[in-house]
Structure 1
Amino acid sequence: MISLLGILISLGLLMYLAYRGHSVILLAPFLAMLAVVFSGESAQMLAIYTQIFMKGLGGYVVNFFPLFLLGAVFGKLMDDSGSARSIAAFLISKLGTKQAILSIVLACAILTYGGVSLFVVGFAVYPIAAALFRELNIPKRLIPGAIALGALTFTMTALPGTPAIQNAIPMPFFKTDSFAAPVLGTIGGLIMLVGGMWWMNRQAKKAVVAGEGYGNHKENIEVMDHSNDPSIMNALLPIILVIALNFAFSKWVFPAMDTSYLATEKFGNVPASKVIGTWAIVVALVVSCAAIVALNVKRFKDVKESLSKGALGSLLPIFNTASEVGYGSVIAILAGFVIIKEFLLGLSPGNPLISEAIFINVMAGITGSASGGMSIALNTMGETYTQLAQQFGINPELMHRVASISSGGLDALPHNGAVISLLAICGLTHRDSYKDIFVVAVAVPIAALAVVIALGTMFGSF
């Protein structure tokens, strides 16, 4: 019981101190060692740090660094070429005054479904959204909710083929690709979109009735020259390439290739099904990055600088998440975790989907990170869930999709880094806008998850 208490204290401090802005890279090893002390294994602390914590951290970097790197570079190229702004401006011009909120949501959704990070999307879309909302007298406080709905929900976890890391993490555990359970994923995504739009439109109508208006805000938006931005087809082509190439290489090209060499000791005797999904996303992003440069070479101030900044921008996110994985690796070897594991498996002994969904949601909520929470959960329980899926005849694709959607529920609690960054970009506070973020990025995705689990339980993966 003392070991369990240590784990709970450690997790509580991780959540609190991360919310207070302390670096997870520093917090994770220190708090993992705190849990080790409570477990009475102080004498083994250094060995646990070097052989358990660092092994977990390093394994995560080995598996996912290419996706973080290429995703960050792709997003930076989309931003610096003007492609992100071009897509946002086009959608707003077409939907504009009649569907202002929907136009913002769809602009964010297209960009994130193509692999652009929330941070790039926020900086690209916010100035356009602010001008549109001010013109139409829609409260500014609704902008973060609209951006969160488009960038932090269905395109991050539910829609098949999204190159988001939250959709890639389950692949090596369940030997799936990013298009796992496509119909269920699409159903879950539509529930998130429709449910989120219902809430946002309802809030906008209530504001109109109350005569609230845009509000008195001191804007600090840089006026940018859009005259050199690429055409909409030019801007969309790299995103189309990401999705199309990912599908082609996942489903046709790599499965048809002779990959028997992977079964040799040289390559770690790894099954092809464990790496093909990652390979497909890597190839899709490399080709798409090259396409952005080729299509917009004259629009870049300095392509080398854009590539360098994109690459550097990938380092902090991956090491934040990898540190959380190292933390989870340590927690998993402690005696107290056995109690947690048995409790989770006992929540629904006949349906591991429910246990998986709860565990990932809780870990994502504690860490304030969808990718970090899911990585901890699957690194500690992934093998168990794989065995349970085989035992109960559950398709691994369904386990993948439930895991991915589960990561996008409680992750968006107030201490989530993306939430804090989004509010900062918009110049608003939690008091102003968090209620809408909570509904569209926490409550509605959890409802969608429940529907996906229910349908998957009744009809299997499809």
Structure 2
Amino acid sequence: MILGIIGIVVSLLLLITLAYRGVPVIIAAPIASAVCLIFSGAPILASYTEIFMPAMGDFVRNFFPVFLVGAIFGLLMTVTGYAESIARTITSWLGSRSAIAATVITSALMTYGGISLFVVAFVMYPLARELFRVADIPRRLVPGTIALGIFTFTMTALPGTPQVQNVIPGQFFGTGSYAGPVLGTVGGAMIFGLGLLWLEFRRRSLIAKGEHFDSDASRQVIGGPADDGGSRTAVALAPPNRVVPFLPLLTVAVVNFACTLVFFPAMDWSYLEGEQFGAITVDDRAALWAVLLAILAAIALIVLLNIRHFAELRAGFYDGAKHSMLPIFSTASEVGYGAVVASVAAFAVIRDSVFTMGANALVTSVVTTSITAGLTGSSSGGMTIALNALGEDLRAMADQEGMSLEIMHRLTAMAAGGIDTLPHSGAVVTLLIVCGLTHRQSYKDIGMVTLVIPVLVVAVLVTGVSVVA
């Protein structure tokens, strides 16, 4: 048993090391799984085909539609020029002197509007770079500023966000995407406010030391974003009506809200009890279906508004479909790894120790999700691994304690968006590559706004909820 536990730890360290060194997770996860199986004495081939692959396939089956439509939506917003128009409009409202706030708000608006996180990073970098250049803000702060807008409060905290990190808990707790609205709004506001304070503090500190946009310490050293994000020709780079580019984002919010709180509860879903639908309930799929319909409605609106340019839009559909593949399969591969770890006998010892540590359901869910997200470097992957292994027990435990599943949903999602951004995180590595900067130059600020502040906020909220309960 001791050897099995050592194998789990070694495999996790190997996964982190391989990911940090740039090995694709699709390759790294099976390798780490094999190491875990060797230490535990379990059969490698049978575990790969009968445990790893089914778990990976289940994640793709459940969440691929969201990854697909989110990537397509993001590419269409780029191709039409709507994304750039939104950025320029918000900047004109706030002024170039507020480059940091303008970048965060624009990034957040796009993320909350349903655009894939990685697509937002590609779209925002050239715009943020220009804003920072005009305001003479050190370039090294660009990644942290974008990260605050896309990897934190709009990804997990704000109720109704269509990002997959807000959909996953609903699959286990039977909750919707608007779960815990007050708690999520308060937490989101805290992360946003503290993140902006940190970035502004850093701006003043660096400028006081004589650093500027083109200083050596902030100079671009890796190369700019991929052509997919910054050089594509837009259909309408400057729409005459500034309101139009915001309509698709507004559509996502309105349709998601209406489906979750109005239409779905009013419909008859009794047919879902049939065997052909797996005897599920609407609560098991409501969050996923609402987000899917919301983004599809926004895509349809973009097509209608630009029907004369459908040939150009078609390229956005193709590119979006291609760009959805790597993120979904990378995350699914991590989920497969988690299933392998959960299958070995040593994991039962770890699981039982988690439930006997004396914590309530909320603390147990938050801690386990946070740890697995940090180890895998993925909020969605880590949360799925934790809830696949412990979700049913956590739900039963919460019911027994009288803990609100909506609160469990919101704080578990927020916990997934904390230490998932350790240096080996694929999201962090990708963002730095897009911005052409290194960990040494920019990770301090990324870590502060996406890791330290969110973890502190979640700790405060969990403590507050536990005291009140």
Q: Same fold (TM over 0.5)?
A: yes
Please say if 1:204 is aligned against 2:203: yes
Aligned to 2:465: 456
Paired with 2:8 and 2:338, the residues of 1 have a C-alpha distance of 10
TM-score by length of 2: 0.93
Q: Offset at 1:224?
A: 8.5
Paired with 1:220 and 1:187, the residues of 2 have a C-alpha distance of 36
2:391 to 382, 404, 407: 382
Please say if 1:356 is aligned against 2:365: yes
Please say if 1:305 is aligned against 2:305: no
Please say if 1:157 is aligned against 2:166: no
Q: Offset at 1:235?
A: 0.9
Aligned to 1:80: 79
Q: Give the match's secondary structure for 2:137.
A: coil
Instruction: Answer yes or no: is the 8 Å Cα contact 1:15–1:366 preserved in 2.
Output: yes
Instruction: Answer yes or no: is the 8 Å Cα contact 1:81–1:229 preserved in 2.
Output: no
Which residue identity does 1:361 align to in structure 2?
S
For residues 330-409 of structure 1, the aligned pairs below 5 Å read 330-347=340-357, 349-409=358-418
Q: Offset at 1:28?
A: 1.8
Aligned to 1:59: 58
Identical positions, percent: 45
Which residue identity does 1:149 align to in structure 2?
L
Instruction: Answer yes or no: is the 8 Å Cα contact 1:80–1:300 preserved in 2.
Output: no
Instruction: Answer yes or no: is the 8 Å Cα contact 2:37–2:344 preserved in 1.
Output: yes
Aligned to 1:288: 298
Aligned to 1:421: 430
Instruction: Answer yes or no: is the 8 Å Cα contact 2:137–2:203 preserved in 1.
Output: yes
- Structure 2 gap segments, 5+ residues each: none
Paired with 2:41 and 2:366, the residues of 1 have a C-alpha distance of 31
Instruction: Answer yes or no: is the 8 Å Cα contact 1:228–1:299 preserved in 2.
Output: no
Instruction: Answer yes or no: is the 8 Å Cα contact 1:180–1:398 preserved in 2.
Output: yes
Which residue identity does 2:341 align to in structure 1?
I
Q: Offset at 1:189?
A: 0.3
Aligned to 1:118: 117
Aligned to 1:28: 29
Q: Give the match's secondary structure for 1:258.
A: coil
Q: Give the match's secondary structure for 1:269.
A: coil
For residues 424-443 of structure 1, the aligned pairs below 5 Å read 424-443=433-452
Instruction: Answer yes or no: is the 8 Å Cα contact 2:97–2:135 preserved in 1.
Output: no
Q: Offset at 1:458?
A: 3.5
Q: Offset at 1:120?
A: 2.1
Deviates more, 1:301-310 or 1:224-233: 224-233
For residues 181-330 of structure 1, the aligned pairs below 5 Å read 181-216=180-215, 217=219, 228-230=237-239, 231-298=241-308, 302-330=312-340
Paired with 2:47 and 2:30, the residues of 1 have a C-alpha distance of 10
Q: Offset at 1:459?
A: 3.9
Instruction: Answer yes or no: is the 8 Å Cα contact 2:15–2:29 preserved in 1.
Output: yes
Paired with 1:223 and 1:19, the residues of 2 have a C-alpha distance of 28
Aligned to 1:174: 173
Cα 1:382–1:50 change in 2 (3 A) is same
Please say if 1:40 is aligned against 2:50: no
Paired with 2:339 and 2:377, the residues of 1 have a C-alpha distance of 18
- Structure 1 gap segments, 5+ residues each: none
The Cα offsets for residues 384-418 of structure 1, whole Å up to 9 and x where unpaired, read as: 11111111111111111111001110011111111
Paired with 1:248 and 1:127, the residues of 2 have a C-alpha distance of 35
Paired with 1:371 and 1:14, the residues of 2 have a C-alpha distance of 16
Paired with 1:127 and 1:361, the residues of 2 have a C-alpha distance of 32
Paired with 1:220 and 1:341, the residues of 2 have a C-alpha distance of 44
Instruction: Answer yes or no: is the 8 Å Cα contact 2:25–2:334 preserved in 1.
Output: yes
TM-score by length of 1: 0.95
The Cα offsets for residues 132-190 of structure 1, whole Å up to 9 and x where unpaired, read as: 22222211111111101111100001000000011011111000111010000011101
Q: Offset at 1:299?
A: 5.3
Aligned to 1:95: 94
Deviates more, 1:120-129 or 1:315-324: 120-129
Deviates more, 1:217-226 or 1:202-211: 217-226
Aligned to 2:19: 18
Q: Give the match's secondary structure for 1:201.
A: helix
Paired with 1:79 and 1:229, the residues of 2 have a C-alpha distance of 12
Cα 1:41–1:307 change in 2 (3 A) is same
Paired with 1:118 and 1:281, the residues of 2 have a C-alpha distance of 15
Instruction: Answer yes or no: is the 8 Å Cα contact 1:65–1:318 preserved in 2.
Output: yes
Instruction: Answer yes or no: is the 8 Å Cα contact 2:175–2:284 preserved in 1.
Output: yes
Q: Offset at 1:326?
A: 1.2
Paired with 1:51 and 1:262, the residues of 2 have a C-alpha distance of 28
Paired with 1:418 and 1:229, the residues of 2 have a C-alpha distance of 30
Q: Cα RMSD over matched residues?
A: 1.8
Deviates more, 1:121-130 or 1:164-173: 121-130
Which residue identity does 2:390 align to in structure 1?
M
Cα 1:420–1:56 change in 2 (3 A) is same
Deviates more, 1:196-205 or 1:121-130: 121-130
The Cα offsets for residues 261-320 of structure 1, whole Å up to 9 and x where unpaired, read as: 100111111112101221111111111111112113345662222111111211111111
Q: Give the match's secondary structure for 2:177.
A: coil
